[in-house]
A and B are shown apart, each in its own frame.
Chain A
Amino acid sequence: MSVLDRQMSATAKIFPHPRDAWYVAAWDHEVTAKAPLARTIADRPLALYRTQDGRPVALADACWHRLAPLSMGTLVGDDEVQCPYHGLRYNSSGRCTAMPAQETVNPSASVPSFPVVEKHRYVWVWVGDPTKADPDLVPDMHQMDSPDWAGDGLTIHADCNYQLVLDNLMDLTHEEFVHSSSIGQAELSEAEFSTTHDGSTVTVSRWMRDIDAPPFWLKNMRDKFPGFTGKVDRWQIIHFEAPSTICIDVGVAKAGTGAPEGDRSQGVNGYVMNTITPDRDRSCHYFWAFMRNYRLDSQLITTQLRDGVHGVFAEDEVMLTAQQKAIDENPDYEFYSLNVDAGGMWVRRILDRMLVAEGRLDPGDVSVTNHAAAPADRPRVTTGA
């Protein structure tokens, strides 16, 4: 049996998620000092709130006593939440600070408090091993709050495994079929693309030269260059950062003005910011924003772009939900791959390794990406890296 046989097989349809990672739990404005917010992040139900001095907090959403949801409770004092059932109070580190019916507080009483970081307009939570929760590991989404970029976004609660969204974003040839009225065009499938990767990132680049701008991009060109007509060079450079952040450098420039070589001055540039947080195994929170680096002061354009992309992503949501349903209704059928899946498959390979490192996947036994059995006494060999 060759090394390749040992790793090549069918591709997992319901992908587990790494736990040792920062996931976006909410937009910054969703987490308040007025009332807790209930949200399940990577299988952990959380109660999210802010202390009176503005620090975000993520507590397990189950009281130590009888597991009533703390998210139904009230915020009291500087940093505490009071259980809605029998009034136990917890501070921002999850310590119980008051038991109303007795003179002491049981020293064992506490709920898990998860590491939290506020960055790039999001509140990020780490549900895995807290000793590994290094704030420097938050994925790069600097366009979200850089003065050089403007824009806004929304959240989709998608009823599908988070990995299906990653697949969707790593292969944009679907635009021709799913988004035919806005950004889709035949050249997407025809253009060559290249894929590169390292231990935690994957980049897929695609250039389409001398083409007609689809409606979405024609509108954007005219926002910057009023009355623009003519051909464009279009690009999509998809940057994945493990475990589930995908920032896509997109744009068009007047054809032949040097954009592929690096001069984008005659074009419009956007960044589609996506970060996907697993909820349960068949649902996820899909946080997205569209940022642009031109006409920064126009709230009109910000709102138009947000609404436009919202419409486009609603088309993805319909497809992803239908795909998940078909997957569940055909448990005995496998996935097969196309060449355009290269980006998505490298993503799976990276996630696979993270899962093995967390001890949640036996490297010699089962691979999620390729669940071929390897002899238990030999480590699974992977090609490339």
Chain B
Amino acid sequence: MVADNRPVWQPAEVVESRMVTDQVRRVTLRRPGTRRAQPGSHVDVRVDLGARTDVRSYSVVEASADGSQVTVSVMLAPRSRGGSRFMHGLREGDVVECTQPLQNFDLRLGAPRHLLVAGGIGVTALAAMAETLRTTGRDYTLVYVGRSRAAMAYLDELEQAHGDRLRVHVDDQGHPLDVAALVDEVAGSSTARATELYVCGPIRLMDAVRRAWAGAGLPVHNLRFETFGNSGWFDAEDFVVRVPRLGLETTVGADTTILEALTEAGAEMMFDCRKGECGLCQVDVRDVDGSLDHRDVFFSARQHEAGDQLCTCVSRVACGDGRTGVLTLDLP
């Protein structure tokens, strides 16, 4: 809710830290609090990246009723910006700085039907929603997509809790998710215009769902998603950014953003959300050597294709072949 969204930073103690798959670590944090985290909420954690600290957002997978504990789950990304390495290093008894649960992805209980689509680690945002829908007796389906069963966190628990309401699609078992068919199923149902679809996962999944949803003419506001702006079409790599008008040139490392790199280089940048939603950080693109990797949801597909502007807080350039991309910008 609006009122609860001003971050309050406090130390939190790690009271549980264990691997739930090869790559996913479950971490439970205890901090003062009296209100249970609502489904869809996340906590911001200050992560230590060695030379500096930064902030990462993690969805709350589970919350204790008394509000004192929240559990997050973090996938160790090989090319992470460093946050997941830090989180994977946490052990019981460690103390981190984190916020109270913040809400930007709220579950509305009034919809006649809910469809939750989780891809990979995106399940962390949707598990708590599914649990609330189950305990309050709503009509829902949880679709969980993954590369292999072993890589899918919480699969057994979800199968036990949700039974028939869970549909599992595992790539290496030969039945990947047909997004178009799933959205057609919604569009053809009697509650089509009131069904809400919540999706969280890699950008390809989110984009496929967004396109199918728009293509089926379903109300855009019934498609709910949360992006922390950290999943792209390409793996993050270093590239060079130039601002000729200011005589600036700097490298944007794989673990940082254009916004951060240019600010560090002395440019005065405007921003607010830092997750590709508000559009305040947009700048004009003059030239690009490499491919633009738009990771924001502020610009429309048409604007992304045109490529005249980008959101500096999340979007990047990638070549994918070992060369170093070069991006030339003009700043407002």
Contact = CB atoms under 8 A, between A and B. Distances in A.
Nearest to A109: B277
Contact of A96 (B34, B135, B221, B226): B221
B300 A93 contact: no
B111 A359 contact: no
Interface of A: 60, 62, 64, 67, 91, 93-97, 102-108, 110-113, 115, 129-131, 133, 359-360
Given A106-B278, A107-B224, A359-B35, A64 B2 contact: yes
B106 A110 contact: yes
B256 interface: no
A328 to B, nearest CB: 26
B298 A104 contact: yes
A98 B106 CA distance: 18
Given A131-B132, A359-B66, A359-B67, A107 B108 contact: no
Interface in B175-216: none
Interface centre among B110, B136, B224, B303 (most CB of A within 10 A): B110
Interface in B260-277: 273, 277
Given A97-B220, A108-B273, A113-B108, 4 more contacts: A91-B221, A106-B297, A108-B105, A131-B132
A129 B136 CA distance: 12
B21 interface: no
B111 A93 contact: yes
B300 A103 contact: yes
B299 interface: yes
Contact of B226 (A105, A107, A133, A360): A107
A22 to B, nearest CB: 15
A104 B2 contact: no
Interface centre among B106, B222, B278 (most CB of A within 10 A): B106
Nearest to B194: A93
A98 to B, nearest CB: 9
B161 interface: no
A110 B221 CA distance: 10
Contacts of B66: 359
Contacts of B226: 107-108
B297 A107 contact: yes
Interface string B120-136: 00000000000010011
B1 A112 contact: yes
A112 B38 CA distance: 13
Contacts of A62: 2
A112 B298 contact: no
Interface centre among A67, A111, A130 (most CB of B within 10 A): A130
Contact of B2 (A107, A112, A131): A112
Contacts of A107: 224-227, 277, 297
B135 A60 contact: no
Interface in B64-116: 66-67, 104-106, 108-111
A104 B132 CA distance: 29
10 contacts: A62-B2, A94-B108, A95-B108, A102-B298, A106-B278, A107-B227, A130-B109, A131-B109, A359-B35, A359-B67
Given A93-B111, A131-B132, A108 B1 contact: no
A104 B219 contact: no
B190 to A, nearest CB: 16
Contacts of A104: 297-300
A115 B110 contact: yes
B279 interface: yes
B136 A131 contact: yes
A131 B111 contact: no
B302 interface: yes
Interface centre among A96, A110, A111, A129 (most CB of B within 10 A): A110
Nearest to A359: B34
B298 A93 contact: no
Contact of A103 (B104, B105, B136, B299): B299
Interface in B222-239: 222, 224-227
A113 B108 CA distance: 8
B2 A111 contact: yes
A247 B136 CA distance: 30
Nearest to A130: B109
A105 B221 contact: yes
A115 B225 CA distance: 22
Contacts of B135: 131
B252 to A, nearest CB: 24
Interface centre among A96, A105, A108, A111 (most CB of B within 10 A): A108
Contacts of B136: 131
B63 to A, nearest CB: 12
A306 B103 CA distance: 46
Contacts of A96: 221
Which 10 A-B pairs rank lowest in CB-CB distance, beginning with the nearest?
A103-B300, A95-B221, A108-B104, A97-B221, A359-B34, A106-B277, A93-B108, A112-B1, A104-B300, A131-B136
Contact of A105 (B110, B220, B303): B220
Contacts of A94: 108
A86 to B, nearest CB: 14
Contacts of B108: 93-95, 113
A105 B297 CA distance: 8
